[in-house]
Amino acid sequence: AKQDGRARFHFFSAEIEESLRSRHRLASDLRLALEGRQFRLHYQPQVAAGSGRIVGVEALLRWPRSGAPATSPAAFIPMAEESGLIVPLGAWVLGEACAAACRWRDAGAPTRVSVNVSAVQFLDPGWLDLVRATLARTGLTAGLLELEITEGVLARDLPRTLGIINELKAIGVSIALDDFGTGYSSLSYLKRFPIDVLKIDQSFVREMTDDPCDAAIVGAVTRMAQGLGLQLVAEGVETPAQADLLAQLGCGIMQGYRFSRPVPEEDLLRLLLHGTLT
């Protein structure tokens, strides 16, 4: 069988061979980076529309590599998922984010932290125990933890996902639906799953001030969120014009470069102690 594989391998073009090699390299670089504690988290504020008060922060993974340009998680998370490394990597992210939230609380600025969770992690058999153990170990109140999942997670295994979400809610953790409107959107998910927060995708926000169609979608999602009693967070808010229009449409919470880029923990604490971002 091994020879068979080798024979077939010769049919691969040099390009595919090179791409396989670089993917393999990325996978092993990721593993080494996790072992070498090279990953960092940055935190991006979520701001209340009226007051400019910081109501929460999203933890975003960073991989600073000496000699190499910073690689976006959008590029390496899929490889971490494919190789299974997302499970230990995601465990580290959760632990680090909860520990940071404890430090902000102890510094007098208790703040909810949102952690991105991929489908592979969410459906991992050890996931619920990991969340419980992490909260216990760090001493973070469950109410200060939010988990961001995408519509893709909900589509995987409906009864199982519902069970996991119900357990998390019972612990006191809140759930945000990320990138809303881009995936396999089904409005029935909003009815079936006890979600707390909708994050409308930045692709709608980006064009909103030029494209009436996007503005109409954002407006409709805002009203829907209100009707369902969900918090709505607009992502990727970059300009004052976008922020103004979002506020007019009734969007409660905004996140984006307009207010702050994702920043290291110490910088975030300074923003939190200052209180508002306008």
For the record, the structure tokens of 38 come out as 């090279």
Query: In the bound complex, what is the minimum distance in angstroms from residue 11's beta carbon to Ca ion?
Result: 36
Mode of pairing for the β-strands spanning 253-254 and 40-48? antiparallel
Query: In the bound complex, what is the minimum distance in angstroms from residue 117's beta carbon to ligand C2E?
Result: 6
For the record, the structure tokens of 199 come out as 């994050």
Residue 256 binding: pick among Ca ion, ligand C2E, none (C-beta 5-8 Å cut-off by kind): ligand C2E
Query: In the bound complex, what is the minimum distance in angstroms from residue 276's beta carbon to ligand C2E?
Result: 18
What is the C-alpha separation between 46 and 243, in angstroms, rounded?
A: 12
Query: DSSP for 65-125?
Result: -TTSPPPPHHHHHHHHHHHSTHHHHHHHHHHHHHHHHHHHHHTT---EEEEE--HHHHTST
Report the site for ligand C2E in 37-66 (rule: CB under 6 A): 44, 60-61
Query: In the bound complex, what is the minimum distance in angstroms from residue 11's beta carbon to ligand C2E?
Result: 34
Query: In the bound complex, what is the minimum distance in angstroms from residue 9's beta carbon to ligand C2E?
Result: 32
Report the site for ligand C2E in 147-206 (rule: CB under 6 A): 178-179, 202
Nearer to Ca ion, 49 or 197 (CB): 197
The answer to whether 116 contacts Ca ion (rule: CB under 5 A) is yes
Report the site for ligand C2E in 69-128 (rule: CB under 6 A): 72-74, 77, 90, 93, 116-118
Burial of 62 (0-12, 13-18, 19+ CB in 10 A): middle
- Would you tell me which residues interact with Ca ion (CB under 5 A)? 116, 148, 178-179, 235
- Would you tell me which residues interact with ligand C2E (CB under 6 A)? 44, 60-61, 72-74, 77, 90, 93, 116-118, 178-179, 202, 235-238, 256-257, 262
